[in-house]
């Protein structure tokens, strides 16, 4: 399961998980209560809640919807963890830095294939529409440090 993680402050990091909600959950005052099933954006079951999630640890949102882009409902749950619980190899920027240093700045696409797969990069068509010799892979930023997440080109 992917989670967002802030830079540590006093050895603690904020953690976030973005969940998919149903319309009924979104419209309910307490969207997630004890024993609710939790799903990620790929509709994969990721667990059940052991307690109702308090308002101060979550925020709900919806996308407005448009033709061929249905309305979506979501929730971000926030918590924290000590930095010793975070594995550096799980942070894409740390892993990429290690790869680049290991190849003395002479990295080619085949050197990054496993990295992009393991970090769940997805195919993007932004540059390919302008110049077909490019292939882009992206991961999405998280909202902890940037409240307006955008695509990060990989």
Separation CA 131–CA 125 (nearest Å) = 10
Mean pLDDT score across all residues of the chain: 77
| Mean pLDDT within 60-73 | 76
> What was the pLDDT predicted at 4?
76
What are the pLDDT digits (tens) for 101-139?
887 777 888 888 888 888 878 877 666 667 777 777 877
Q: Cβ distance 109 to 57 under 8 Å?
A: no
Q: Note the pTM of the prediction, 2 decimals.
A: 0.58
What are the pLDDT digits (tens) for 36-48?
888 887 788 888 8
Number of H helices, E strands in the chain: 3, 9
| Mean pLDDT within 77-100 | 81
> What was the pLDDT predicted at 9?
86
Residue 66 has pLDDT above 80, yes or no: no
**Please, what sign has the CA dihedral across residues 116, 121, 125, 127?**
negative
Confidence of residue 83 (pLDDT cuts 50, 70, 90): confident
**All residues at 6 or more sequence positions from 71 whose CB lies less than 8 Å from its CB, including other chains:** 23, 62, 63, 64, 65
Confidence of residue 154 (pLDDT cuts 50, 70, 90): very low
Separation CA 98–CA 95 (nearest Å) = 5
**Ranges of each domain in the chain:** 4-85, 88-153
């Amino acid at each position: 399961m992917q989670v967002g993680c802030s830079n540590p402050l006093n050895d603690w990091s904020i953690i976030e998980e973005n969940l998919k909600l149903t319309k009924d959950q979104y419209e309910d005052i307490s969207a997630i209560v004890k024993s609710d099933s939790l799903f990620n954006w790929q509709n994969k079951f990721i667990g059940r809640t052991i307690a109702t999630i308090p308002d101060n640890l979550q925020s709900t949102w919806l996308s407005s919807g448009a033709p061929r882009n249905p309305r979506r409902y979501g929730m971000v749950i926030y918590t924290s963890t000590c930095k010793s619980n975070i594995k550096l190899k799980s942070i894409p920027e740390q892993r990429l830095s290690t790869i680049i240093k290991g190849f003395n700045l002479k990295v080619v696409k085949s050197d990054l294939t496993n990295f992009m797969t393991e970090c769940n990069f997805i195919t993007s068509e932004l540059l390919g529409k302008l110049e077909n010799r490019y292939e882009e892979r992206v991961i999405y930023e998280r909202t902890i440090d940037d409240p307006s997440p955008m695509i990060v080109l990989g």
